[in-house]
């Protein structure tokens, strides 16, 4: 029996990124501000959705503007250091005020948000003419 061919995740072309960021910033029917910020952070950091939704505050060195994703949360099992732009830092600061005492960057109460909260937001991209590959 031949193994099933694995399909790669959808990706946005680099020339479509500015349009995607504009669409995210004006997309107010997502459900809440936290989800909008999460989408922006995905676009600015190029991390996988699971890496973002599993992020905990102890992974962030905000004084040095870096996020260290531990090896056990990475697909290839290697620690990943993400440099945070000034835009990403502003988003993280806003998320910190929303998170309260939660250990998670993106939370619903004390728990992390679901992956589906993020992935379902990409469906309207098709309506905007943005191809999500």
Contact 111, 104 (CB under 8 A): yes
Number of Cβ atoms within 10 Å of the Cβ of 23: 17
Q: Model confidence over 54-110: pLDDT tens digits?
A: 999 999 999 999 999 999 988 888 999 999 999 999 999 999 999 888 999 998 776
Provide the pLDDT for residue 129.
56
Q: Which residue has the tokens 């020339």?
A: 15
State the alpha helices, DSSP H only, in the chain: 17-26, 33-45, 49-53, 86-99, 115-119, 123-128
Of the candidates 61, 58, 60, 42, the residue with the CA atom closest to the CA atom of residue 50 = 42
Q: What is the CATH number of domain 14-128?
A: 1.10.443.10
Provide the pLDDT for residue 60.
98
Q: Model confidence over 1-59: pLDDT tens digits?
A: 666 666 665 667 778 778 777 777 766 554 578 888 888 898 899 898 889 999 999 99
**Reported pTM:** 0.73
Provide the pLDDT for residue 90.
98
Provide the pLDDT for residue 1.
65
Provide the pLDDT for residue 30.
44
Contact 92, 60 (CB under 8 A): yes
């Amino acid at each position: 029996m031949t193994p099933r061919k694995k399909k790669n995740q959808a990706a946005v072309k680099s020339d479509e990124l500015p349009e995607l960021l504009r669409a995210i910033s004006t997309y107010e029917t997502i459900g809440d501000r936290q989800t909008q910020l999460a989408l922006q952070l995905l676009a600015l950091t190029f991390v996988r959705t699971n890496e973002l939704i599993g992020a905990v505050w102890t992974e962030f060195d905000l004084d040095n503007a870096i996020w260290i994703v531990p090896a056990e949360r990475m697909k290839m099992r290697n620690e990943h250091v993400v440099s945070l732009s000034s835009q990403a830092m502003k988003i993280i600061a806003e998320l910190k005020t929303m998170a309260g005492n939660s250990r998670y960057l993106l939370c619903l109460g004390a728990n992390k948000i679901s992956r589906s909260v993020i992935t379902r937001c990409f469906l309207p991209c098709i309506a905007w003419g943005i191809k999500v590959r």
